[in-house]
Amino acid sequence: MPIPAATLYPPFNILRLSHVELCVTDLARARGFYVDTLGLQVTHEDAGHIYLRAMEERGHHCVILKLAAAGSVGVLGFKLYDQPDLDKAAAWFAAQGLSVDWVERPFMGRALATRDPMGVPLEFDVQMDRLPPIHQHYALYRGVKPLRIDHFNLFSPDVDASVAFYAQMGFRVTEYTADEDTGRTWAAWMHRKGGVHDIAFTNGRGPRLHHLAFWVPTPLNIIDLLDLMATTGYVGHIERGPGRHGISNAFFLYIRDHDGHRTEVYCSDYQTVDPDLEPIRWNLKDPQRQTLWGAPAPKSWFEEGSVFDGAALRDSTLAAQPIVAP
Amino acid sequence: MPIPAATLYPPFNILRLSHVELCVTDLARARGFYVDTLGLQVTHEDAGHIYLRAMEERGHHCVILKLAAAGSVGVLGFKLYDQPDLDKAAAWFAAQGLSVDWVERPFMGRALATRDPMGVPLEFDVQMDRLPPIHQHYALYRGVKPLRIDHFNLFSPDVDASVAFYAQMGFRVTEYTADEDTGRTWAAWMHRKGGVHDIAFTNGRGPRLHHLAFWVPTPLNIIDLLDLMATTGYVGHIERGPGRHGISNAFFLYIRDHDGHRTEVYCSDYQTVDPDLEPIRWNLKDPQRQTLWGAPAPKSWFEEGSVFDGAALRDSTLAAQPIVAP
Amino acid sequence: MPIPAATLYPPFNILRLSHVELCVTDLARARGFYVDTLGLQVTHEDAGHIYLRAMEERGHHCVILKLAAAGSVGVLGFKLYDQPDLDKAAAWFAAQGLSVDWVERPFMGRALATRDPMGVPLEFDVQMDRLPPIHQHYALYRGVKPLRIDHFNLFSPDVDASVAFYAQMGFRVTEYTADEDTGRTWAAWMHRKGGVHDIAFTNGRGPRLHHLAFWVPTPLNIIDLLDLMATTGYVGHIERGPGRHGISNAFFLYIRDHDGHRTEVYCSDYQTVDPDLEPIRWNLKDPQRQTLWGAPAPKSWFEEGSVFDGAALRDSTLAAQPIVAP
Amino acid sequence: MPIPAATLYPPFNILRLSHVELCVTDLARARGFYVDTLGLQVTHEDAGHIYLRAMEERGHHCVILKLAAAGSVGVLGFKLYDQPDLDKAAAWFAAQGLSVDWVERPFMGRALATRDPMGVPLEFDVQMDRLPPIHQHYALYRGVKPLRIDHFNLFSPDVDASVAFYAQMGFRVTEYTADEDTGRTWAAWMHRKGGVHDIAFTNGRGPRLHHLAFWVPTPLNIIDLLDLMATTGYVGHIERGPGRHGISNAFFLYIRDHDGHRTEVYCSDYQTVDPDLEPIRWNLKDPQRQTLWGAPAPKSWFEEGSVFDGAALRDSTLAAQPIVAP
């Protein structure tokens, strides 16, 4: 299936990814990972939740840690341009025969809850409480100095189908991996906000969240995080990296929390606001697409991911092969 | 005058700044500065011109060096979303009583030439020749490793008027400096592409170009450029920096070419795609807005700039005071 | 006076600078500067003193903050190779007609107290309490991440005389500034430990301590310190930099504590263990010796320094001219 | 066998490692690796040799590439303090019943050739041609920006014996790995010049050179080298890293030339001039001694090395186990 061309006039305007709800089994332990180690800022805390934002974000939260019986992902949130877009989105999802629910969320205006055809729980909103800037409060910077949430990466049992669906919503492919033999797409990176991606799909049993990612200032901040984790009892939580992805050219590190949720911290990206930006095609047989420098990724990185609440898992429609990274 | 709120529905869609034509008096000398020292890539060269692009750009050029009798700026170029936007732009400028000319430019599709009310020569285009990616051709990286053109900064004799005009075109103010006593705006940073700015206006005799700017990977690349310039005969071309601006939080360096054109190389920026992003207001009396670390800028930085071809200069309508930086 | 050649066989073996006693007028305030901001580690604290070490040091302290009525410098300490060297040092100073006192210091073995011919209070020791390594305790790193004390820089009213005296003790000149007209030495950098310097002398009213210096990992740590100081009430304590010295090639920043004591944080150095290393001669008329990148230093940097307890001040024997930096 | 204490009064004064002769089978190919990629400077070239120095070195060369029929190591060179030390060294080696030959080497004064008890070919010299400084010729910096040769790392079939022999020559152990069960030493790092090591020994079939190492400015220069090698046909020459060693705390990368010679580029070190510096003991069972961040090294890194001309290979006297790194 050829990669879809950029949709010039999407049915509604998605600005960017907004937030994710991560279900964790121990809030204090998760706080040690996301706040004390990674360096996210707490914006609200109650018995069942911790709300977090990164250093340059003005929205109330980009991550919600929710106490639960098991590790899973509650929802992926996206911010729309304005209120009319929210109604257009509701109409469009209804027309696709997909669920449409208006939900109330703390610290946010009205939100539209639905699922994509794979069952991934999605939430669209326009308004979230705004907080004062802290990006110049340098005394608050900790850990890897996370600046903003950057993207979600999902396992999809049918990447071509996932890409086709999100392309209709206006997500544009910046890079992708194709199987030269079958022509099938093995992985694709799609954006709305003008970077390499807001969301990416990777071939594999799914839907599952492969990772969420934070943008950090420089590679040295990632080295600082490695040194910190390696000497504070988190060495077992370092899964892959540091390295450079051929795809996206990202300097990356992958770490895992106690419930197995994977976070990528990365820097180096490029501007993709041009609608005529040509997607970069990578060959499934080119190992440098995964790691420009050649080092292989561990088995866990290809196989493990976080399930979405209420989403049934399906195996990939593609022959079992090394899952395409990143 | 209060800073204008973000225009939600601009008359046409400007994606980002695109390119600038710099008139220089010696092409070989300018090549030494922009190519051998700064590190831009030559994409075309003829007897009268050198076309340049930065490392992550796919468009044919972001800077045109044009041989001329005197140093000046020929035009500032902006890329529009699609061809209908170009016609909407023509209609809108005509409606403002401003000139509208369709011009032919090498390596580009049809382009609309006009001027803003201050007389700044503008050019709008949709299509420019696309080139293969070179951002992973690491053997080509030189100098400061410029990744992309980031913004233009202009002296305006009436910043409030300039801001009001560009706000109508959909440029959004991210940060600005206000005179608490008069309420007048001293400087403003406005964007389209989702960063701190595509264009900024600074109070002063104008219109003149204060500087163009390139985004670079890390502060260490800027230190590398300083070391290189300081030991290859360019020490006199280092004007200001390195430092951190309070406004925009940019880590910056300002350098001058042999004709006096000023270039900023900088990194650290933040994402501004949210239409509800609150502009950050700075007080004219706060010196840290200019240099977070306190070091003053040299007199030349406040006073000198590049004239635009065919634009009459006017003094500022505001009382002479330190010009707001950056 | 020609710069003295390296003494191959000094009368006793000085390993390196060891520590400095800084008299401060408010211990809590000094703690905020040296511990919370600069990032030194407290190894002992009592009503009148705070003992500090840098991250890679195993010795008990490199800085002693001593509560006093006025800001001054109590003593400069140097570590000798072994106990016999201490006796040789005592004999040698006595032979020079200089004072020799055996003193008891907390956390140290026997120490020899004396003064150089300019009156600078010196202390020589062999043994200091050793502490467990903390250089891999990354959770302890703060501020600029100071790794080790690197050197002392002194104003001397007669640099030629100071250089001649320390050369007899085996200090080797690595770089120096000469007045081409008079042949007099304006400044000199001298080492024992194999770097650019353990001690440097700069022409000016003295003896006074111009600064002490700490070695830090990379220029980015210095930028982090600038951002931290600029946003935590210390912007007025940033005196000069960041920049690159021509002499020593150091990437530097100079900051001042509340009592005016100056600290340099710097990185980039080179190995100087070869006794046949030729000193690098700089011309007094070359501004790049001070700042490779061309930016001038502020007046305070040339004129202000810390007095030594009990040392009478003399004006320079050289005509008043810009004091040689760094 | 307990680790030997530092010898306070060695029989002669070794300043530092000086140079290595690498036999390569194709000079042009080796030039592409060491000059165009790694960034060393050519100081002399003839039909059979290329002499190289790093950016801050004043000596004529630190590496000699010698055209030969097979890849091997000709000699390891060390610089002594003065000429009398050279005669003391000759007497001492003769007294050990080891060979003593006075040899002529280009660009050097008289040199003493011998072998250690394992058969490692050694060369001691005092004088080598001195070259003008180039450390501030920033236009010359390339590749990883190598500043100086830092150390040699050797496989030894009997680490305890190697350590005992070099300790007699005044090399001091800074860190070592011990087998808690047998008390045997598995690896040791020994220095003369005041850093973590000039030479290290690692348990394994030998004697063989495991690697030579260059000191570089920052981790970002190592990342630059990785990006360059990965996109210029050298991806297969990247063997291990980037990473942080627990032992020595070095941020490292290991690369291989076309003949298999291994080079480490690294930064982060600490000062070790104190004779009372306590060696750091690591447990053979602690994987973080090898890689602080946990990633394992490839098999080749543990098993492959360069043979020394004329040195017979012996298997280790210790039970086969993972060889201790780095």
Q: For B235, which of C219, C229, C293 is closest by C-beta distance?
A: C293
Q: What does the alpha-carbon distance between residue B264 and residue B255 come to, in Å, rounded to a whole number?
A: 6
Burial of B102 (0-12, 13-18, 19+ CB in 10 A): exposed
Cα four-point dihedral sign A140, A141, A147, A149 = negative
Q: Which residue of A has its CA nearest to C226?
A: A138
Identify the pLDDT of residue A6: 78
C293 to chain D, closest Cα gap in Å: 12
Q: How many CB atoms lie within 10 A of CB D39?
A: 24
pLDDT at residue B325 tops 60: no
pLDDT the model gives residue A321: 53
Strand locations in A81-164, DSSP E? Answer: 101-103, 111-115, 121-125, 148-156
Interface membership of C292 toward B (CB under 8 Å): yes
The DSSP H or E segment spanning C140 is none
C-alpha D299/C-alpha B303 separation (Å) is: 63
pLDDT for the residue numbered A324:
43
Residue B43 in contact with residue B60, Cβ under 8 Å? yes
Residue B206 to residue A208: CA distance in whole angstroms: 56
With residue C86 as reference, give the H or E element that holds it.
helix C83-95
Q: How confident is the model at residue A323 (pLDDT cuts 50, 70, 90)?
A: very low
Question: What's the whole-number average pLDDT of chain C?
Answer: 95
Contacts of B133 by beta carbon, 8 Å cutoff, 6+ apart: A280, B56, B58
Question: Where in chain B are the domains?
Answer: 14-127, 147-305
Task: Determine the residue of chain A that is closest to B277 in CA distance.
Answer: A58
Other C-beta atoms closer than 10 Å to the C-beta of A230 total 22
Q: Over range A313-326, report the average pLDDT.
A: 67
Q: For B288, which of C218, C223, C230 is closest by C-beta distance?
A: C230
Q: Tell me which of A135, A224, A226, A232 to substitute to probe the interface with C (most C C-beta atoms closer than 10 Å).
A: A224
DSSP state of D157: S
pLDDT top residue among B320 and A222: A222
- Chain D residue with minimum CA distance to B218: D220
Residue numbers in B near D230 (CB within 8 A) = 138
CATH architecture of the region D147-305: Roll (3.10)
What is the number of other CB atoms lying within 10 angstroms of the CB of residue B275? 16
A305, exposed or middle or buried, with CB in 10 Å at 0-12, 13-18, 19+?
buried
Q: Does residue B139 sit at the D interface (CB-CB below 8 Å)? A: yes
The count of other CB atoms within 10 Å of the CB of residue B298 is: 13
| Contact assignment for B244 to C223 by CB distance below 8 Å | yes
Q: What is the pLDDT of residue C269?
A: 85
Q: At residue A49, what are phi and psi to the nearest 5 degrees?
A: -145, 155
Measure CB to CB from residue C238 to each of B223, B231, B294 and give the nearest one.
B294
Confidence of residue C320 (pLDDT cuts 50, 70, 90): low
pLDDT higher than threshold 70 for residue C271: yes
D227 lies within 8 A of chain A by CB: yes
Nearest CA in chain C to B240: C295
Amino acid occupying residue C112: L
DSSP string, B185-250: EEEEEEESSSSS-SEEEEESSBSEEEEEEEE-S-HHHHHHHHHHHHTTT-GGGEEEEEEE-SGGG-
Q: Which two tokens stand for residue A112?
A: 């539209």
Residue C324: the pLDDT is 43
φ/ψ (deg, to 5) at C138: -65, -20
pLDDT at A320 over 80: no
pLDDT digits (tens, 9 = 90+) for B16-61: 999 999 999 999 999 999 999 999 999 999 999 999 999 999 999 9
Distance from CA of D133 to the nearest CA of A (A): 30
The amino acid at C230: A
Same topology, domains B14-127 and B147-305? Answer is: yes
**Residue C277 corresponds to which tokens in the numbers above?**
């290393």
Quick one: closest CA in B to C243, which residue? B242
- What residues of chain D score a pLDDT lower than 70? 319-326
Chains that touch B (3 or more CB pairs under 8 A): A, C, D
Q: In what order do the strands lie in the sheet with B72-80?
A: B41-46, B49-53, B63-67, B14-24, B72-80, B121-125, B111-115, B101-103
- pLDDT surpassing 70 at residue C137: yes
How many angstroms separate the Cα of C242 from the Cα of each of A204, A218, B244, C294, D169?
50, 19, 11, 12, 43
Q: Answer for the pair C111, C120: CB distance below 8 angstroms, yes or no.
A: no
pLDDT of residue C88: 98
- Which chains have 3+ CB pairs within 8 A of C? A, B, D
Residue count of chain B: 326
d(CA A87, CA A90): 5
Strand spans (E) along chain C = 14-24, 41-46, 49-53, 63-67, 72-80, 101-103, 111-115, 121-125, 148-156, 172-178, 185-191, 199-203, 208-215, 238-244, 251-256, 262-267, 280-283, 306-307
Of residues A204, A163, A160, A205, the one with CA closest to residue A183: A160
Element (H, E) at B181: none
As its CATH architecture, domain A14-127 has Roll (3.10)
Point out the residue among A227, A242, A288 whose CB comes nearest to the CB of D242.
Answer: A242
Q: Model confidence at A325, in pLDDT bands (50, 70, 90)?
A: very low
Mean pLDDT value across chain A: 95
Res A90 pLDDT > 70: yes
Average pLDDT over residues A18-31: 98
Min Cα distance A53 → chain C (Å) is 20
Q: In sequence order, which ranges of C152-290 are alpha helices (DSSP H)? A: 159-168, 219-230
Do residues C272 and C6 make contact, with C-beta atoms less than 8 angstroms apart?
Answer: no
Tell me which amino acid residue B58 is: R
In Å, how far are A213, B22, B33, B74, B257 from B27, measured between CA atoms? 45, 11, 10, 15, 11
* pLDDT tens digits, one per residue of A170-205: 999 999 999 988 889 999 999 999 999 999 999 999
Beta-sheet strands, E only, within A100-227: 101-103, 111-115, 121-125, 148-156, 172-178, 185-191, 199-203, 208-215
* Percent of all residues in chain C with a pLDDT value above 70, rounded to a whole number: 98
What does the pLDDT read at residue B228?
Answer: 98
User: In C, which residues are within 8 Å of A218 by CB distance?
Assistant: 220
Q: CA nearest B18 in A: which residue? A: A274
Q: What pairs with residue D215 in β-bridges?
A: D148, D266
**Beta carbons of A223 and D238 less than 8 Å apart:** no
User: What is the distance between the alpha carbons of residues A90 and A96, in angstroms, rounded to a whole number?
Assistant: 10
Do D16 and C271 lie within an 8 Å CB cutoff? yes
Q: Under an 8 A CB cutoff, do D133 and C277 touch?
A: no
Report pLDDT for C319: 62
pLDDT at D326: 39
CB-based contact, B289 to chain C, within 8 Å: no
Q: Is the peptide bond before B11 cis (omega within 30 degrees of 0)?
A: no
Q: How far is D177 from chain A (nearest CA, A)?
A: 19
Task: Report the C-alpha gap between B116 and B209 in whole angstroms.
Answer: 14
Chain B residues with CB inside 8 Å of C251's CB? 223
Pick B137 or B287 by higher pLDDT: B137
Question: What count of other Cβ atoms lies within 10 Å of the Cβ of residue A8?
Answer: 12
- Does B224 touch chain D if contact means CB atoms closer than 8 Å? yes
**Phi then psi for C257, rounded to 5 degrees?**
-85, 180
- C229 vs B contacts (CB less than 8 Å): 293
Contact A220 C220 (CB under 8 A): yes
Query: How many Å apart are CA C61 and CA C46, to the nearest integer?
Result: 14
- Please state, in angstroms and rounded to a whole number, the distance separating the CA atoms of residues C76 and C64: 10
Percent of chain A with pLDDT over 70: 97
- pLDDT score at B324: 43
pLDDT band at residue B321 under the 50/70/90 scheme:
low
Rounded Cα distance, D282 and C91, in Å: 42
- Give the model's confidence band at A319: pLDDT under 50 very low, under 70 low, under 90 confident, else very high: low
CA distance C302 to C318: 15
pLDDT, tens digit, 9 for 90 and up, residues D7-21: 889 999 999 999 999
**Which amino acid belongs to residue D297?**
A
Average pLDDT over every residue of C61-88: 98
How high is the pLDDT of residue C326?
40
